[in-house]
Structure 1
Amino acid sequence: MIGKHFILSASAVALTLAGCADAPSEPATAESESPQDEFWEALSSHCGNAYAGSLVSDDEADADFADADMVMHVRECSDNRIAIPFHVKTGDEWDRSRTWLITRSDTGLRLKHDHRHKDGERDAVTMYGGDTAQEGTARAQDFPIDAESIALFQQEGLTASVTNVWSVEVDPVEARDGIFAYQLRRTVAGGAPEPRFFRVEFDVTNAVDAPPSAWGHE
């Protein structure tokens, strides 16, 4: 009886295993997007739109920006590059010299500042910025200064800027109370001789008319 029971049990196990082998496998779970992919999608959702904003920080160095009209324009978008001109009106004149360039790199995302003169010529201090060192979040990415920019600032005597960290925050186009923010920060703890904080915010729930092209990008 014991032998017969063992044989039946073994047969049952074999049938069970055979059934498992014949059962269809579960579909593989798709790999979730990274925070940087989600950030890129959120920023890209604004492509073609322009938004008004203002200075929200209060460093004395930015007194000329305190009451200035500001418009950012998500003007160019591709799979690997987003160009965002930043227009500032001080007095009666619009300064269209600045364009923020965010691109994909081999290790993450990169922010560069394209500065031009009114005739389109590049400024002596241009194409500086940094690369992401961490994943960040779907809403915010930090860009610590890169070695190329440190060398440029040192060459131009801008040694206070060699510890810069830039940040960009963005909510997707459908978000309630959404903003786009650009920020520069340096701290004494990070090696700066004195702290520096610059931040502008834009209301991305209310698009405005697109401005003219930034200088040098006509």
Structure 2
Amino acid sequence: MSRSLRCLATLSLAATLCVQAAAQTPAPAQDRFLASLAALCGHAYEGKVTSSDAADADMAGSRLVMHVRSCTADEVRVPFHVGEDRSRTWVVSRTPAGLRLKHDHRHEDGSEDKLTQYGGDTVAPGTAERQEFPADAYSRAVFIAQEIPRSATNVWAMEIAPGQSFVYELRRPGRHFRVEFDLTRPVAPPPPPPWGAE
């Protein structure tokens, strides 16, 4: 092989490796998003339902508090309290290709609910302010097994406007749930631990 062909082959291989590495590395926007979420660690904030789906009337009438309770370089755990119900925790973590959102649902005795650990991975870089998580294969299988196949099309999203608001959102055809938390007024003292974390 001539020297010029060897150079072209080397450049082609290097370009391929760079493309593969880029496809398997969280985007800078995702790093900034996770950093903004982790910056809230230790604090709790009150929120309100801002969507208008009738299915959420009971939740809209409850006190809603998120608590950014546990943070590492690769994972942030955010219990979401609905009144006295401490069954829900959002878990945002890094993957080789982006970010993952899972919903950890527990009973009061700490055992897992039959509908738990569902969520999804990012499929696009998103922005430093908003990340979307379409339902993954595991979640679709769980929803179908629980006879709620409509949830297999769920897309969850989180938004952060640093120093202003945090948003959790769920969308699918015919369904929209959105709750907004006020980051300007931390709740003190923070709420008790979620069920299963005592």
Distance apart, 1:171 and its partner CA: 2.3
Taking the TM superposition and a 5 Å limit, the aligned residue runs for 1:1-218 are: 34-89=28-83, 94-172=84-162, 175=163, 178-187=164-173, 195-209=174-188, 210-218=190-198
**SS where residue 217 of structure 1 aligns?**
coil
Q: Quick one: which amino acid aligns to residue 184 of structure 1?
A: L
Work out which of the two has the higher radius of gyration on C-alpha atoms and give 1 or 2: 1
**SS where residue 162 of structure 1 aligns?**
helix
Distance apart, 1:112 and its partner CA: 0.2
5+ long unaligned stretches in structure 1: 1-32, 188-194
**SS where residue 153 of structure 2 aligns?**
coil
Query: Residue 13 of structure 1 aligns with which residue?
Result: none
CA distance in 1, matches of 2:60, 2:101: 24
Cα distance per residue 1:130-181 (max 9 Å; x no partner) = 0000000000100000001000111111111000000001122xx3xx1011
Identity %: 52
Distance apart, 1:42 and its partner CA: 0.8
Query: Residue 12 of structure 1 aligns with which residue?
Result: none
How many positions carry a matched residue from both structures? 171
Q: Quick one: which amino acid aligns to residue 196 of structure 2?
A: G
Q: CA RMSD in A?
A: 0.9
CA distance in 2, matches of 1:213, 1:66: 22
Cα distance per residue 1:77-101 (max 9 Å; x no partner) = 0001100000011xxxx00000000
Distance apart, 1:106 and its partner CA: 1.1
- C-alpha contact (below 8 Å) 1:43/1:171 kept by paired residues: no
**SS where residue 182 of structure 2 aligns?**
strand
Q: Considering fraction of residues, name the structure with more helix.
A: 2
**Runs of 4 or more consecutive aligned structure 1 residues displaced over 6 Å after TM superposition:** none
Distance apart, 1:123 and its partner CA: 0.2
Distance apart, 1:60 and its partner CA: 0.9
CA distance in 1, matches of 2:153, 2:185: 34
CA distance in 2, matches of 1:43, 1:171: 10
5+ long unaligned stretches in structure 2: 1-26
